[in-house]
């Protein structure tokens, strides 16, 4: 009951609401069927809100940034987010990655994707590469854990994956029209879960 299923990546209660009607009170009596959002501890909410504030203040109000290489990531973490410059905070395991997308959320804090900047046609993204996007952008819709769900939803809502095409085809329009469905089908929990 806690995992989204089927080609639409819907939770069981969402399927029941579609089939029985959202006003069907009998199903709402089933304990555990309708999931509740987990309670975020106050200390975590405060820390995430602080990171979000630092992020948007340091980026002139933007909530997504694209960074070229580990040195830019480290500079952003220490300069904008004001993290301590030590191995516990500087993500040394990321040194081998080419680029990073950071997305700020006031409740969740900072979301990070690595080595996908080339695929995202955001006008604010200086690292976008149409040729690489044509070859690999579909991966964002189909590979688990490649992209945080919030960032992928943001890209789909804003049509920032215009070069994605189903592998072996050149039909970008089909993918653009159905990007949400494709992501739900391939990613399931990794598109809907937090």
Residue entry with tokens 């516990």: 88
pLDDT of 194 higher than 70: no
- Total count of residues recorded for the chain: 194
- Of residues 76 and 39, the one with the higher pLDDT is 76
Do the beta carbons of residue 121 and residue 114 sit within 8 Å?
Answer: no
Residue entry with tokens 């987990």: 38
In three state form, how does the secondary structure of 109-152 look? Answer: EEEEEECCHHHCCCCCCCCCCHHHHHHHCHHHHHCCCCCCHHHH
Q: Residue 98, Cβ neighbours under 10 Å: how many? A: 13
- Of residues 84 and 28, the one with the higher pLDDT is 84
Do the beta carbons of residue 193 and residue 151 sit within 8 Å?
Answer: no
Nearest C-alpha neighbor of 155 from the set 194, 107, 118? 118
- Alpha-carbon torsion (120, 122, 124, 126), positive or negative: positive
Q: Alpha-carbon distance 114 to 54, whole Å?
A: 21
Q: Alpha-carbon distance 194 to 178, whole Å?
A: 22
Span 76-127, pLDDT tens digits: 999 999 999 987 788 899 999 999 999 999 988 899 999 999 999 999 999 9
What share of the chain has pLDDT > 70, as a percent? 98
Q: pTM here?
A: 0.86
Do the beta carbons of residue 28 and residue 34 sit within 8 Å?
Answer: yes
Do the beta carbons of residue 136 and residue 118 sit within 8 Å?
Answer: yes
Where exactly are the structural domains of the chain? Answer: 8-37, 40-115, 116-194
């Amino acid at each position: 009951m806690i995992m989204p299923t089927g080609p639409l990546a819907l939770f069981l209660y969402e399927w029941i609401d579609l089939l029985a009607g959202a006003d069907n009170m009998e199903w709402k009596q089933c304990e555990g069927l309708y999931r509740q959002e987990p309670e975020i501890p106050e200390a975590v909410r405060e820390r995430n809100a602080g990171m979000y504030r630092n992020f948007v203040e340091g980026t002139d109000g933007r909530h997504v940034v694209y960074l070229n290489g580990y040195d830019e990531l480290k500079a952003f973490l220490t300069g904008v987010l004001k993290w301590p410059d030590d191995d516990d905070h500087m993500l040394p395991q990321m040194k081998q990655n080419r680029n990073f997308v950071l997305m700020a959320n006031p409740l969740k804090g900072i979301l990070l994707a690595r080595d996908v900047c080339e695929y995202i046609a955001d006008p604010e993204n200086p690292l976008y590469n149409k040729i690489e996007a044509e070859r690999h952008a579909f991966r964002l819709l189909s590979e688990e854990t490649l992209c945080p769900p919030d960032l992928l939803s943001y890209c789909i809502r804003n049509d920032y994956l215009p070069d994605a095409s189903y592998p072996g085809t050149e039909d970008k329009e089909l993918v653009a029209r159905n990007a949400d469905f494709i992501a739900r089908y391939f990613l399931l929990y990794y598109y809907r879960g937090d």
